[in-house]
Amino acid sequence: MKSSEWPLVIFSLAIQLSAGIMVIYDLFILFPMYRSRVAFPSKYHWILLIALGAALVGVIFSFLHLGNPTNAPRSLSNIGTSWLSREITGVLIYSALLMGTTILHFVMPSAGRSLKWLVDLTALTGVILIFIMSKIYMIPARPAWNSVFTPLGFYMAAIVMGASLLLLFQINHGSWASQKSLAILTISIPVIQLAILPIYMSWLGHPDFAGGKGLAILLHNHLIAFYLRLVLYLLAIAFGFWAFFTIRSDTTQNRLLFAPALLAWASILAAQIVDRLLFYTQNISPEGF
Amino acid sequence: MSTFGFFCDTSACSGCKTCQVSCKDKNDLDAGIRFRRVYEVVGANWNKTDEGAWEHDIVAYNLSIGCNHCENPACVKACPTKAMHAELDGMILIDPNKCIGCRYCEWACPYGAPQYNKLKGIMQKCDFCRDYVLEGKPPACVSSCPMRVLEFGPISQLIEKHGDNRSVYPLPDPSITRPALFIRKHPGAKLAKKLNASIINREEVKE
Amino acid sequence: MGKQNRRDFIKKGAVAGGVVLTSPIWFPDALGFSPGQAVAPGLSQNGWIRAGCPAHNCGGRCLLKLLVKDGIITRIETDDRPGDTVADPQLRACIRGRSYRRRQYHTDRLKTPLVRNGKRGEGKFREATWDEALSIMAAEMVRVRSKYGNESIFVPYGTGSYSHLNGRWPAARLMNLIGGALEYYNSYSWACISKATPTVYGTTTTGNQRQDWLNSKYILMWGWNPAEMRDGTNSEFFIKKARENGARVVCIDPRMTFSAVSLADEWISIRPGTDTAMMSAMAYVMYKEKLYDSDFVRTHCVGFDSTQMPKGVEDEESYVDYLLGKFDGQEKSPQWAAPITGVPSETITRIAREYATTKPAMLYQGYGMQRRAYGEQPVRGGCVLAAITGNVGIHGGWASGIAHQPGGEPFWSIFPTGTNPVKAKIPTFLWSEAVTRGTTLTAKEGLTGVDKLNSNIKFIWSVASNILMNQHGNVNRSGRILENESMVEFIVVQDQFMTASARYADLVLPVCTHFETWGLEDGWKYGEEVILMPQIVQPLGLAKSDYRICADLAARLGVYEAFTEGLDERGWTHKLWDEYRRTRFPNLPPFEQFVESNQGVYSVPVSDPKISFEEFRKDPIKHPLQTPSGKIEIFSKTLFDMGMKEEIPAVPKYIQEWESPFGPEAKAYPLQAIGPHYMARVHSTHDNVDWLREAFPQRVFINPIDAKDRKLNDGDRVLVFNDRGKISLPCRVTPRIMPGVVSIPQGAWTKPGPDGIDRNGNINILSSERWTPLAFGNAQHTIMVEIKRSKN
Ligand SMILES: Nc1nc2c(c(=O)[nH]1)N[C@H]1C(S)=C(S)[C@@H](COP(=O)(O)OP(=O)(O)OC[C@H]3O[C@@H](n4cnc5c(=O)[nH]c(N)nc54)[C@H](O)[C@@H]3O)O[C@H]1N2
Ligand SMILES: Nc1nc2c(c(=O)[nH]1)N[C@H]1C(S)=C(S)[C@@H](COP(=O)(O)OP(=O)(O)OC[C@H]3O[C@@H](n4cnc5c(=O)[nH]c(N)nc54)[C@H](O)[C@@H]3O)O[C@H]1N2
Ligand code: SF4
Ligand code: SF4
Ligand code: SF4
Ligand code: SF4
Ligand code: SF4
Ligand SMILES: [Mo]
Partner residue facing C705 (CB), from B46, B58, B90: B46
Least confident interval from B167-181, C402-416, C652-666: C402-416
Residue C335's pLDDT is what?
98
User: From the CB of residue C791, how many other CB atoms can be counted at a distance below 10 Å?
Assistant: 6
Domains annotated for chain C, with CATH where assigned, are: 6-104 (no CATH), 114-186+412-603 (3.40.50.740), 192-401+612-634 (3.40.228.10), 664-789 (2.40.40.20)
Percent of chain C whose pLDDT exceeds 90: 91
Query: What CA–CA distance (Å, rounded) separates A269 from A271?
Result: 5
Domain count across chain B: 1
**Closest approach of C202 to chain B, Cα-based (Å):** 35
Least confident interval from A24-38, A103-117, C705-719: A103-117
Go through B144-154 and write b for each residue having 16 or more CB atoms within 10 A of its CB, e for each that does not: bbbbbbbbbbb
Residue C582's pLDDT is what?
94
Query: What CA–CA distance (Å, rounded) separates C274 from C341?
Result: 5
Least confident interval from A175-179, C340-344, C462-466: A175-179
Residue C39 pLDDT level (bands cut at 50, 70, 90): low
Nearest to A273 by CA among A208, A229, A234: A229
Q: Is B149 in the pocket of ligand 3 (CB under 6 A)?
A: yes
Least confident interval from A27-36, C159-168, C413-422, C679-688: A27-36
Residue C20 pLDDT level (bands cut at 50, 70, 90): very low
Residues of C in Cβ contact (< 8 Å) with B154: 10, 23, 26
- Contact of A72 with B99, CB cutoff 8 Å: no
Residue A34's pLDDT is what?
84
Whole-model pTM over 0.90: yes
Give the distance (Å) from ligand 3 centre to CA of residue B10: 9
Give the distance (Å) from ligand 2 centre to CA of residue C466: 5
Q: Is the pLDDT of residue C269 over 90?
A: yes
- Contact of C124 with C118, CB cutoff 8 Å: yes
Nearest to C9 by CA among B178, C20, C18: C20
Q: Between C413 and B120, where is the model more confident?
A: B120
Q: Phi first, then psi: what are they for C658, rounded to 5°? A: -75, -20
Whether residue B119 is contained in a domain is answered as: no
Query: What CA–CA distance (Å, rounded) separates C214 from C329?
Result: 42
* Mean pLDDT, rounded, for C435-443: 97
**What ranges in chain A are assigned the alpha helix state H?**
6-24, 31-35, 45-64, 83-107, 116-137, 149-169, 176-204, 213-216, 223-246, 258-281
Ligand closest to CA B24: 6
**Closest approach of A93 to chain B, Cα-based (Å):** 16
Partner residue facing C236 (CB), from B1, B14, B17: B14
- Contact of C524 with C62, CB cutoff 8 Å: no
Would you call B111 and A287 a contact, using CB atoms and an 8 Å cutoff? no
Residues of B in Cβ contact (< 8 Å) with A84: 78-80, 102, 104
Give the distance (Å) from ligand 3 centre to CA of residue C1: 34
- Contact of C391 with C212, CB cutoff 8 Å: no
Whether residue B77 is contained in a domain is answered as: no
Q: Is the pLDDT of residue C412 over 90?
A: no
| Domain extent listing, chain A | 1-137, 141-289
Percent of chain B whose pLDDT exceeds 90: 97
Whether residue B96 is contained in a domain is answered as: no
| CA-nearest residue, atom 3 of ligand 3 | B13
DSSP β-ladder status, B54-65 and B37-48: antiparallel
Give the distance (Å) from ligand 6 centre to CA of residue B91: 12
Q: Between A4 and C785, where is the model more confident?
A: C785
Would you call B53 and C262 a contact, using CB atoms and an 8 Å cutoff? no
Q: Is the pLDDT of residue C35 over 50?
A: no
Q: Is B107 in the pocket of ligand 5 (CB under 6 A)?
A: no
Nearest to C150 by CA among C182, C124, C118: C182
Q: Is the pLDDT of residue A43 over 80?
A: no
Q: What Cα–Cα distance (Å) separates residue C166 from each residue in C414, C519, C569?
A: 11, 7, 9
Whether residue B80 is contained in a domain is answered as: no
* Mean pLDDT, rounded, for A6-13: 95
Would you call B77 and A81 a contact, using CB atoms and an 8 Å cutoff? yes
Would you call C695 and B147 a contact, using CB atoms and an 8 Å cutoff? no
Residue C1's pLDDT is what?
36
Helices (runs of H) and strands (runs of E) counted in chain B: 8, 10
Residues with CB under 6 A from ligand 7: C 53, 58-62, 93-94, 96-97, 230, 233, 682
pLDDT for C582-615, tens place per residue?
998 999 999 999 999 999 999 999 999 999 999 9
Residues of C in Cβ contact (< 8 Å) with B25: 75-76, 98-99, 101, 691
CATH code: domain of residue B62 = 3.30.70.20
Q: Could you tell me how many residues make up chain A?
A: 289
Q: What Cα–Cα distance (Å) separates residue C519 from each residue in C52, C514, C545, C571?
A: 9, 7, 10, 10
Question: What residues make up the domain containing B177?
Answer: 4-71+127-205
Query: What CA–CA distance (Å, rounded) separates A136 from A134?
Result: 5
Would you call A75 and B80 a contact, using CB atoms and an 8 Å cutoff? yes
Q: Is the pLDDT of residue C142 over 50?
A: yes
The contact set of A with B (CB < 8 A) is 65-69, 71-72, 74-78, 81-85, 88, 136-137, 139-142, 211, 283, 285-289
- Contact of C338 with C344, CB cutoff 8 Å: yes
Q: Is the pLDDT of residue C350 over 70?
A: yes
Go through B175-186 and write b for each residue having 16 or more CB atoms within 10 A of its CB, e for each that does not: ebbbbbbbbbbb
Question: Best of B63, B102, B167 to disrupt the A interface by mutation (most A CBs within 10 Å)?
Answer: B102
Q: What is the mean pLDDT of chain C?
A: 93
Residue B46's beta-bridge partner residues? Answer: B56
Put simply, whether B153 touches C (Cβ < 8 Å) is yes
Whether residue B195 is contained in a domain is answered as: yes
Residue A217 pLDDT level (bands cut at 50, 70, 90): confident
Residue C650's pLDDT is what?
98
Ligand 7: residue of C76, C91, C96 to mutate (most ligand atoms within 8 A of CB) is C96
Would you call C95 and B89 a contact, using CB atoms and an 8 Å cutoff? no
> Which DSSP string do the residues of A221-245 spell out, in sequence order?
ISHHHHHHHHHHHHHHHHHHHHHHH
Q: Is the pLDDT of residue C26 over 70?
A: no
User: From the CB of residue A72, how many other CB atoms can be counted at a distance below 10 Å?
Assistant: 17
Residue A35's pLDDT is what?
85
pLDDT for A244-256, tens place per residue?
998 887 777 777 8
Nearest to B120 by CA among B107, B101, B95: B101
Residue of C nearest to B90 (CA): C6
- Contact of C720 with C688, CB cutoff 8 Å: no
Read off the DSSP letter of residue C732: E
Nearest to B3 by CA among A181, C3, C195, C304: C3
Q: Is the pLDDT of residue A1 over 60?
A: no
**Closest approach of B80 to chain A, Cα-based (Å):** 4
Which residues, in sequence order, are CB contacts of C599 under 8 Å at separation 6+? Answer: C50, C532
Would you call A283 and B107 a contact, using CB atoms and an 8 Å cutoff? yes
Q: Is the pLDDT of residue A100 over 50?
A: yes
Q: Between C19 and B145, where is the model more confident?
A: B145
Residue A115 pLDDT level (bands cut at 50, 70, 90): confident
**What ranges in C325-375 are assigned the alpha helix state H?**
334-341, 345-357
- Contact of C420 with C175, CB cutoff 8 Å: yes
Query: What CA–CA distance (Å, rounded) separates C747 from C761?
Result: 9
Q: Is the pLDDT of residue C28 over 60?
A: no
Mean pLDDT: which of A207-221, B12-26, B192-206 is highest?
B12-26
Residue A205's pLDDT is what?
85
Residues of A in Cβ contact (< 8 Å) with B80: 74-78, 82, 84-85, 88
* Mean pLDDT, rounded, for A1-22: 87
Whether residue B86 is contained in a domain is answered as: no
Residues of A in Cβ contact (< 8 Å) with B118: 67
Encoded amino acid at A246, one letter = T
Ligand closest to CA A76: 5
Question: Best of B20, B24, B48 to disrupt the C interface by mutation (most C CBs within 10 Å)?
Answer: B24
Residue A171's pLDDT is what?
79
Residue C44's pLDDT is what?
57
